[in-house]
């Protein structure tokens, strides 16, 4: 599954392939862009003025590293060995819930401020030289910029993690028109606040935006905001992403997959 530029009016489709399509209006000579997918012999076309990226699982795969740091914190601070599966229900919900949900399962009362600081300190160390952008991300962003689409990041992660990730993968926050982190909002995903905030900062309604997400919480938030959503199968299965409302599914943002 991949991405292509297809000039109007010669649109050609293959089943289960997602396209970014560039249209030129002959009267205005102004470009308008569409995502198109052929699914069950139906073409879904949506005008898009902006792309809003989730960060973890979309721009980079930081989940193994935050998991490593969180498991280390529980063991060193609470002498409790938690397992990776404990964290799955809380992926994409922000670090407060990511840590807090697991703590609840084990009957642990966190010192959230201190424990998050411990996790982040460990995390920023373990990602050095290891965290990379996901397949096709930089090329896709360049393509969007070439066609003057607005770009935003909307992540439930705290500012320190967002900035650490973006810097490490070579896409500093200045790459985007706006970046919204978990400290900017009150209600975390699956509440739509984060995507409504990102759209507002872009001076657009959410209905003019396409959200790229990898987690059910994020997809639910995008749909509740009124946006269309591309689900990437980097963290959850196609079945799980479709069940929560993803409009399209792709493996990643590469043109070669």
Q: What is the 3 state secondary structure string of the chain? A: CCCCEEECCCCCCCCCCEEEEEEECCCCCCEEEEEEEEECCEEEEEEECEEEECCECCCECCHHHHHHHHHHHHHHHHCCCCCHHHHHHHCCCCHHHHHHHHHHHCCCCCCHHHHHHHHHHHHHHHCCCCCCECCCHHHHHHHHHHCCCEEEEECCCCHHHHHHHHHHCCCCHHHCCEEECHHHCCCCCCCCHHHHHHHHHCCCCHHHEEEEECCHHHHHHHHHHCCEEEEECCCCCHHHHHHCCCCEEECCCCCCC
Could you list the active site residues? 54, 56
């Amino acid at each position: 599954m991949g991405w292509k530029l297809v000039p109007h009016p010669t649109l050609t489709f293959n089943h289960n392939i997602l396209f970014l399509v560039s249209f030129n209006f002959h009267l205005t000579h102004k470009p308008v862009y569409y995502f198109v997918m052929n699914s069950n012999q139906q073409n879904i076309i949506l005008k898009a003025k902006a792309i809003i990226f989730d960060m973890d699982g979309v721009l980079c795969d930081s989940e193994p590293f935050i998991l490593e740091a969180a498991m280390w914190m529980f063991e060193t601070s609470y002498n409790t060995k938690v397992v990776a599966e404990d964290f799955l229900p809380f992926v994409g919900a922000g670090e407060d819930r990511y840590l807090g949900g697991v703590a609840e399962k084990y009957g642990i009362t966190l010192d959230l401020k201190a424990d998050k600081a411990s996790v982040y300190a460990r995390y920023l160390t373990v990602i050095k030289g290891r965290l990379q952008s996901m397949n096709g991300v930089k090329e896709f962003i360049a393509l969007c910029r070439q066609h003057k689409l607005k770009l935003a990041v909307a992540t439930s992660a705290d500012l320190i993690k967002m900035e650490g990730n973006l810097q490490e993968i070579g896409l500093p926050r200045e790459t985007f028109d706006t970046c919204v982190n978990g400290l900017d909002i009150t209600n975390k995903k699956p509440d739509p606040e984060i995507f409504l905030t990102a759209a507002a900062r872009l001076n657009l309604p959410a209905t003019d935006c396409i959200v790229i997400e990898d987690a059910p919480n994020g997809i639910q938030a995008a749909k509740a905001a009124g946006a269309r959503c591309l689900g990437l199968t980097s963290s959850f299965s196609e079945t799980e992403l479709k069940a929560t409302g993803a409009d399209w599914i792709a493996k990643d943002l590469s043109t070669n997959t």
